[in-house]
Amino acid sequence: MSEKQTFDLSFFMPGQTVEAEEVKVPISKRFVDKKGNVIPFVFKAITTERIDELEKENTTFKNVKGRGRVKDLDSQRFYARIAIESTVYPDFRSKELREAYSTQDPVEVAKRVLSVGGEYANWLNKAIEINGFEDEIEDLEDAAKN
């Protein structure tokens, strides 16, 4: 019989994990301060629980002949909502921005602010990356080895 290997679980106990840090990233060269410096967006990862809630909020069910009730995730809206919630600055949910762009929908505010070419896509991709969806398993394995 082999001895049971024990692992230290203290690393995973409440209060032991490192909180997600805010990350500053330039999304567009169009947003500059008075000195001409590019204004970075500020991102912070959201919780797994919040991501689950956003998934539920952006999922509908429809009846499909021969398959019954099928889940339908509006993935574009889902990822946009993750980006909205992960963006600390600018806060697309702010009353000031929503009023300025005449919409109550923060996703529409983001689309109007990030109106040039790849800006919106850059913003979405960065938010998704900040939340760990882009971490390659090999990168995580390398980090675990070091």
Domain edges within the chain: 15-145
Please say whether the beta carbons of 124 and 39 come within 8 A: no
Would you say the C-alpha torsion 106, 42, 116, 124 has a positive or negative sign?
Answer: negative
What pLDDT, in 10s, does the model give residues 54-80? 999 999 888 888 878 888 889 899 999
Q: CA–CA separation, 111 vs 82, rounded Å?
A: 14
Residue whose entry in the numeric block shows the structure tokens 């106990």: 13
What pLDDT, in 10s, does the model give residues 103-138? 999 999 999 999 998 999 999 999 999 998 765 545
Q: How confident is the model at residue 53 (pLDDT cuts 50, 70, 90)?
A: very high
- Look at phi and psi of residue 135 and say left if phi exceeds 0, alpha if psi is from -120 to 50, else beta: beta
Does the domain made of 15-145 have the CATH classification 3.30.2130.10?
A: no
Residue 17 has what pLDDT? 61
Would you say the C-alpha torsion 70, 75, 77, 83 has a positive or negative sign?
Answer: positive
H helices present in 58-136, as ranges:
75-86, 95-100, 106-113, 119-130
The structure's pTM equals: 0.76
Identity of the amino acid at 51? I
